[in-house]
Amino acid sequence: MTRVSMVMAPGVYIIEHGNVDSAVREFVARTLTDVYQIERPEYVEVHIYETRGHVKLPVHNDIVVNAEYEGGLFHEAWAGYPRIHVIVEDIVNVEGSTRRAMLVHEAAHSILHGSQEYYVVALCEYNDLRSVHVAYTVVKDLEVHLWMASRGFMQELGRLRDYFDDGVVGCGTIEDVSNEARRLTVYIALGGHPEMRCGKISRVLYNLLKRVARCKPRPWACRNEVLDVIDAIGG
């Protein structure tokens, strides 16, 4: 069963798939209200799924960068407008304040990255789609974490920092590099001093991302600098 369960504000729709517990619905609505009362997209759909089996995403013939799936929460804009996806059977296992921080993170994506340009990429001279995906994800996360810091979501950033710090440490794969780079973006937004878990690779990424954070008019404009470095590391 799919139904629109709540219209939070003009253009903000919560859509339930399956039997969604009211406590989850209230958690989502309460957290998003805290974000969207500051700033919100013109239109956003928030899909809440009882289980992974209820998730039905559109299939495109285009080359599409997959959404980050983590902790039962992700954002995408394949349809040309922002959509946040919440999978109940996954988020119930995530600690409450961490779950809130993750949802604030995805809400910020819906404000900053709510169109297809952030998800559909042209490979051009880059042959490795994984490198493009990692670089673009890292830059988008950097923008999100800077936005969160500028809007006062410091406690949530602290929870994200702890979440990344508690993750499995690895440096040998492109996925490991992605996780390390994303962890560093939280520290840059907080102004902290992270451990360089991957040695030289971490130092290169940290210095690069600090510079990209100051890129004008916004970090996204310098995404290809990050792509060049990620492509070199991955190669």
Q: pLDDT band at residue 10, thresholds of 50, 70 and 90? A: confident
- Domain count for the chain, please give it: 2
Interval 181-197: pLDDT, tens: 999 999 999 999 999 99
For residues 128 and 110, state if they share a domain: no
For residues 160 and 226, state if they share a domain: yes
Res 177: pLDDT: 95
For residues 132 and 213, state if they share a domain: yes
Give the mean pLDDT of 192-210.
97
Interval 77-90: pLDDT, tens: 989 999 999 999 99
Tell whether pTM > 0.85: yes
* DSSP string of 25-61, one letter each residue: HHHHHHHHHHHHTT---SSEEEEEESSGGG------S
Contacts of 48 (CB under 8 A, 6+ apart): 5, 14, 15, 16, 17, 20, 24, 25, 28, 86, 88
For residues 84 and 152, state if they share a domain: no
Res 122: pLDDT: 57
DSSP-based three-state secondary structure for 88: helix
Which of residues 101, 117, 133 is at a domain's end?
117
Which of residues 81, 102, 117 is at a domain's end?
117
For residues 226 and 193, state if they share a domain: yes
Res 4: pLDDT: 75
User: Could you tell me if 145 and 113 are in contact, meaning their C-beta atoms sit under 8 angstroms apart?
Assistant: no
For residues 198 and 195, give the distance between their C-alpha atoms in angstroms, rounded to a whole number: 9
For residues 112 and 170, state if they share a domain: no
Res 9: pLDDT: 80
Res 156: pLDDT: 99
Which of residues 64, 98, 117 is at a domain's end?
117
In this model, does residue 106 exceed pLDDT 50?
A: yes
For residues 99 and 54, state if they share a domain: yes
For residues 44 and 28, give the distance between their C-alpha atoms in angstroms, rounded to a whole number: 13
Residues spanned by the domain of 149: 124-234
More confident residue, 235 or 215: 215
In this model, does residue 123 exceed pLDDT 70?
A: no
Give the mean pLDDT of 144-155.
99
For residues 113 and 130, state if they share a domain: no
For residues 104 and 30, state if they share a domain: yes
C-alpha torsion 169→161→166→94, nearest 10: -130
Give the mean pLDDT of 202-215.
98
For residues 34 and 132, state if they share a domain: no
Locate 53 and state its tokens. Answer: 């089996």
Interval 61-77: pLDDT, tens: 333 344 445 669 999 99
Res 2: pLDDT: 77
User: Could you tell me if 234 and 131 are in contact, meaning their C-beta atoms sit under 8 angstroms apart?
Assistant: yes
For residues 101 and 60, state if they share a domain: yes
In this model, does residue 57 exceed pLDDT 70?
A: no
For residues 49 and 98, state if they share a domain: yes
For residues 99 and 108, give the distance between their C-alpha atoms in angstroms, rounded to a whole number: 14
More confident residue, 122 or 203: 203
